[in-house]
Amino acid sequence: MHAIIDAAWICHVAFRDERGVHCIPTACWRIGAHLYIHGSNGSRMVRRLMEDECCVTITHVDGLVLARSAFNHSMNYRSAVIYGRFEPVEEAAAGTGKRQAMEAFMEHLVPGRQGEIRPGNDKEYAATTVLRIALAEAACKVRSGPPEDDEEDMGVRAWAGVLPLREARGAVVPDPACAMAAPDYVRRWAD
């Protein structure tokens, strides 16, 4: 489960309010046995998540699985579905506080960058809620490998195998107003 979460930039959070059910994508990261997200204090989602149970899902699609029969087609994927309730991460929390959590987020996004940027100030932190949910009640599902056709379909004259999919990193795009040479972690970005 940790590997599935650590490979993700975002999760989808399902929660309900008086208007119904919502499914909202948001950035996420992991510290130990918790998944973290953040948002502005005023956000509907942030407020609701502290009041009720929710479900958080991360999915990676790894390939299309081409079988000899239509109904045996499938996808290779890895998913983690987490149930529970988010709790706010306080400024002075024992262990990982709000600032440490946000710095871990930056380290997850771009390792090595934290020391260069202008860090969050008191006003920015005060306007931001950091939430975490325990990875206690969770289920991972993984499908990998070749198609599985029924014996009676093995003679069908159709190509069978996997068409792999993966995340790729493109050539970096410097901000037009940025005159700095790219640091190591930027030069190493593209595949």
DSSP-derived 3-state class of residue 59: strand
Residues of this chain, 55-114, that bind its own copies according to CB under 8 A: 55-57, 59, 61, 63-64, 66-71, 73, 75, 77, 79, 81, 83, 102, 106, 109-110, 113-114
Q: Closest distance between its own copies and the C-beta of residue 50, in Å?
A: 15
Binding part of the chain for its own copies, among 28-36, 49-57, 89-97 by CB under 8 A, reads: 49-57
Q: Which two tokens stand for residue 80?
A: 């983690």
Which of 92, 94, 95, 168 lies at the binding interface for its own copies (CB under 8 A)? Answer: 168
- 157 in contact with its own copies (CB under 8 A): yes
Q: How many residues belong to the chain?
A: 191
Using an 8 Å Cβ cutoff, are 91 and 130 in contact? Answer: no
Which of 3, 25, 47, 111 lies at the binding interface for its own copies (CB under 8 A)? Answer: 25
Binding part of the chain for its own copies, among 29-37, 87-95, 117-125 by CB under 8 A, reads: 117-125
Size of the site for its own copies (CB under 8 A): 82
| CB burial string 54-91: b at 16+ within 10 A, e below | bbbbbebebbebbbbeeeeebebbbbbbbbbebeebee
Q: Residue 3, Cα to own-chain centre: how many angstroms?
A: 11
